[in-house]
Chains A and B, each alone.
Chain A
């Protein structure tokens, strides 16, 4: 336990000084994806539900944020709120339908709904279609107290949002609710026979995960000042799965590590075009065949073995 605390303290110090040596916009983007991946992992790692359509929450929340802040000219806080609420609502509708099937069908259904949302976004007037929503203003937060035009200031806002989201997930996982989720994941029949209404727990987890993915997506729109089709596309749904997988499913910090690895990789490989996809695909293959525990999972295993012998 103490090692874990020391670890977290070090990470927070690192996060606080990070803008002095790394490009803040990169850090903010990575933090948004890290929160997105944690939200996804809450569902897969702790409730055993693999959503292959999480981009719909992430991307739609970006549009909601942009629309509220730009078209309606309202405060960014309201934009974030709209992003979270909209994504959670979308999660409620799609989740209620998707949990009617199990296992791999659940993944296909969420994927199909995300594709539906994607087609909707291409046509709907408020998303700006192929162009997306551009030039979302960075208005000051808290009624003018915190100006976020400066990337370094905004970085600390994004860090705070990330920590809030991370803490929420942490609390959920270690709450009685989280214990029930894990029981359902491990053996749904037994959980049912113990009197837990598995479907309600799954749906609540789904809505929560969707809302947090929405928070990540809205924050990303705040940082980048645009919302586009890329964030609702199936490729983004795949990316978040990859991040969680690379970092380690079912480890709470794994998705954060995975998100930083993948975003860094994309940064370096951006110039190679199609090869980003090829390499991401290859990583999927290698991880599934050889490192299913992910970076954090494998490291934990190695550490345990080292201590044991």
Chain B
């Protein structure tokens, strides 16, 4: 077999696939974060916990009720999204008039509570979720597990559907307009507070959907979202939160960069995204796709 720069192709493509999968999660999560921030002016620190809840919901639905993966893919995000709606109605809506900082602190506190409770109930070691589509294809240069291919495709579809929903539909027009000038949109007769609640529910549902997709790949554990959300913050700083397509491209791109780093210089693979963030801050402080705000 041929080699590229001294790297066997199996390793290279294997890591690229892993990078693509990580990128898929970065894209889905940063997308939700950006949509929520646009409407609520809150950086949703609870995003990682809600991702974890998605995975847990699928795991519990399977373990207790025997509900299969494909049903959970729809049901789990709905359950977690409804939980998000309750959070918004009971807690978040009380702090919109305050500085952004308080939303950050409030959702950070919520993340601690949620993750602490899950850890208390189910421990932190994690449980496996069976692979719904085992097997794979031999592509000659690498082995491609079917489920992983499915995750990449599904994430792309989800991201593009979100983009379409926001950029091309009537509800999306309401969202974009309300992000710019909620007062005027409300004066046109649109129930903006309800729109805000709905947006939060959708953003949270998106995080949970990512969690369901992650369940068969990762261990389902209370702390699976803790480090992920911090990386996603860096992704959001790099991409800027102004553009939906920007979030998607940045997410996948950074996943690939991370994968390549794992091949060529493994010790830096954990930190490379933060290095990219530092470089972007130096060169284009507003972020790759961001306007200064």
Contact = CB atoms under 8 A, between A and B. Distances in A.
Contact of A274 (B91, B119, B234, B267): B119
Contact of B237 (A109, A245, A274, A284): A109
B265 to A, nearest CB: 12
- Bin the interface of chain B by size: 35 or more
Task: Give the interface SS of chain B, mostly helix, strand, loop or mixed.
Answer: helix
B38 to A, nearest CB: 13
Interface in A225-277: 234, 238, 241, 245, 273-277
Contacts of B91: 285, 289
Given A112-B237, A274-B116, A289-B91, A100 B109 contact: no
A71 interface: no
A302 interface: no
Interface in A265-309: 273-278, 280-285, 288-289, 292
A50 interface: yes
Contacts of A116: 271, 274-275
Contact of B106 (A111, A112, A274, A284): A284
A50 B101 contact: yes
A275 B237 contact: no
A115 B109 contact: no
B100 A108 contact: no
A113 interface: yes
Contacts of B117: 274, 278
A238 B274 CA distance: 19
A289 B106 contact: yes
Contacts of A283: 109
Interface string A103-129: 111011101110110011011000000
B102 A292 contact: yes
A242 B100 CA distance: 16
Nearest to A50: B101
- Bin the interface of chain A by size: 35 or more
B267 A288 contact: no
B83 interface: no
A288 B274 contact: no
Interface in B81-110: 91, 94-95, 98, 100-106, 108-110
Name the residue in A112, A115, A276, A282 with the highest tally of chain B Cβ atoms < 10 Å from its Cβ: A112
Contacts, number: 119
Contacts of A107: 43, 101, 104
Contacts of A103: 100-101
A104 B271 contact: no
B230 interface: yes
B116 A111 contact: no
A285 B237 contact: no
B112 A284 contact: yes
Contacts of B274: 112-113, 115-116, 119
B115 to A, nearest CB: 7
A171 interface: no
A104 B226 CA distance: 19
A101 B293 CA distance: 9
A141 interface: no
- List of 8 A-B pairs having minimum Cβ-Cβ separation, nearest first: A284-B109, A281-B112, A116-B274, A278-B116, A277-B116, A281-B113, A119-B270, A100-B285
Interface of A: 50, 52, 97-98, 100-101, 103-105, 107-109, 111-113, 115-116, 119-120, 122-123, 234, 238, 241, 245, 273-278, 280-285, 288-289, 292
